[in-house]
Chains A and B, each alone.
Chain A
Amino acid sequence: MTLLSVDGIRKTFGGIVAVEDVSFDVDRNEIVGVIGPNGAGKSTTFRLLTGFHTPDAGTVEFDGEDVTDHSPDARARSGMIRTFQIAQELTGMPVMQNMLLAAQGHPGERAVTSALGIGGTSAFEADQRDRAEELLKLLELWELRDEYAGNLSGGQRKLLELGRSLMADPDLLLLDEPMAGVNPDLTDRLLERILELRDQRDMTFLFVEHDIDAVMRVADTVVGMHNGAVLSMGSPEEVQSDDRMLEAYLGGEV
């Protein structure tokens, strides 16, 4: 069953076409990797999916609803949560606060309920703390819960960002180059977590990644992009053996 459906999206910047007629579907409980050399249009596609750009043409449907014109925050509330390429944890907030921030539908986020502590604020908050504790322990960040996120190491920040996204309990998690700048050991752990989450929490993943090996290990479907367009799509093996992809990468590297 299709969860995310991208149909013919196009984006130009000052006359330069960044993304042209990109279409693909992501099924529920699937892991989809978008790969391509630098300048292939991966990042623009990502921003179009998450609402940080609006496409010039084409549509994005999520869970049967047309979200093409929805703002990033509206998309997040409907169950699509994104991460950032460079871990954008909130450095001046403690780890625990970063986690709690991601809770969706928090009754205490209204000024009045927050000031007066009414409307189920404290009960909800307590539940979220329990969830956050569980996730932080899983990610081995529990000991650091009161530390400012800015004092974490690069790898810990990546984990925090993943944990924070999971706090939002997304149906679809969109990861922007989650493996960039991450050591191989951590890459393995992140990939393991993704597979676990997919199975245990019935989650769906889309990730844009430069590191092809990582994608090949976990993705069910791979979308290969080049020059702003989809060049190749299919199982990891199919895309990997596609000569056009190889050419694109070689051409891109030179």
Chain B
Amino acid sequence: MALLDLFLVVGIIAGVYSLLAIGMNMHWGDTGLLNFAHAAFFAVGAYTSAILTTPTPEAGLLAERTVGFDLPVVVGIVAGTVLAAVLGFVIATTSVRLEGDYLAMVTLSSAELVRLVIHNEAWLTTGAQTLKNIPRPMESTVATLPVSYDVFYFLLVWALVGATYLLFERMSNGPFGRVLHAIRENDDVALALGKDVTQFKLKSFAIGAGVAGLAGTLWAHYVYAISPVMFLPSITFLIWAAVIIGGAGSYAGAIVGAVVIVFLRQVTRFIPGSVPFSDQMSYLRLMLVGVVLVAVLYYRPEGLLGNAERLQAGTSEGE
């Protein structure tokens, strides 16, 4: 594969991960919520869009799925985003009042429940098998252009990353983000100043989940085929690593962190020829992610683009 093609593939994955990290940064970076359900929002976005945009499979095929809508891709993308946001809202409703540790465990468990449903409800999702033939947006139109589809998709994904980044930056720096930051610092103060803390947490959860859903739709329409093993909790943990490495609280950091993580995972693709331990390479790369995450937390707890001064000031106790 030519180097440019490889760059485009990795770039598209990095864009999808960036969206996931932006959503997570709203939860953790802005609001201080321990969300461990990100993989579920990603999955719901992907499956919603896939189911809505593929036709009903013909009976008698291997796939047991009996539902399909054959709608335009854009409908799938919007619906996937919205449904992921709704799921975020629902999960948060049961758990957002809980203390941090409990919230982490409940969200992680909820995400596994979602995956369990996807895995078992084959009539809707093809179950453990692969849901195939997901259409790519504007594929026939792009085919008439002198550029490859990956160029188009790369630009599409990164345009969406850019737009999302701008919107989230504005939210975070505006009065809405101010309330979220106050909640991150101290729930009681926000309450005492008349902020409906639960309501803000629910909104934060839903908005961040929605972006993760958007990432899921983009993923599904790029890879043609999805299956439940793509949405294991390790996705959630990778995104956590991205946000922490990039610097919690910074949206630019979230994007940088996501790019770093994707690069770490994909870097050996760029090394031509055979390398020793090539079988183990993908595992070694994930071990490296672990090492980098711990090293960043130790040497640079604010992350690459985080705000060290805020972190310092934020830890000083009242007298």
Contacts and interface: CB of A to CB of B under 8 A. Distances in A.
A–B in direct contact per CB < 8 Å: yes
Given A104-B194, A181-B319, A92 B189 contact: no
B296 interface: no
B175 A91 contact: no
Interface string A58-77: 00000000000001111011
A89 B197 CA distance: 17
Contacts of B175: 100, 103, 106, 108-109, 114, 121, 125
A92 B315 CA distance: 8
Contacts of B207: 111
A90 B182 contact: yes
A52 interface: yes
A168 B193 contact: yes
B179 interface: yes
B197 A73 contact: yes
Nearest to A103: B175
Nearest to A150: B313
Interface in B207-226: 207
Interface in B151-208: 167-168, 170-171, 174-179, 181-182, 184-186, 188-197, 203, 207
Contacts of A117: 170, 174
A115 B174 contact: yes
Query: Quick one: which of A81, A84, A114 has the most chain B CB within 10 A?
Result: A114
Given A84-B192, A115-B171, 8 more contacts: A77-B194, A83-B192, A92-B314, A106-B175, A113-B174, A148-B309, A149-B313, A157-B318
Q: Which 10 pairs show the lowest CB-CB distances between chains A and B?
A: A92-B314, A150-B313, A148-B313, A76-B194, A114-B176, A108-B175, A114-B174, A154-B319, A150-B316, A90-B185
B312 interface: yes
A88 interface: yes
A93 interface: yes
A217 interface: no
A139 interface: no
B174 A88 contact: no
Contact of A116 (B170, B188, B189): B170
A151 B315 CA distance: 10
Interface in B297-315: 309-315
Query: Quick one: which of B168, B177, B315 has the most chain A CB within 10 A?
Result: B177
Contacts of B314: 91-92, 148, 150
Contacts, number: 132
Contacts of B195: 73, 101, 109
A123 interface: no
Nearest to A147: B313
Contacts of B185: 90-93
A111 B176 contact: yes
A81 B192 contact: yes
A133 B170 CA distance: 23
Given A100-B178, A101-B193, A151 B170 contact: no
Query: Quick one: which of B195, B310, B318 has the most chain A CB within 10 A?
Result: B318
A42 interface: no
A74 to B, nearest CB: 8
Contact of B179 (A88, A109, A125): A109
A44 interface: no
28 contacts: A52-B188, A71-B196, A73-B190, A73-B196, A81-B193, A88-B186, A88-B189, A89-B189, A91-B314, A91-B318, A92-B185, A108-B174, A108-B175, A110-B176, A111-B176, A111-B203, A113-B174, A114-B175, A117-B174, A148-B312, A148-B313, A148-B314, A150-B312, A150-B313, A151-B313, A154-B318, A168-B194, A181-B319
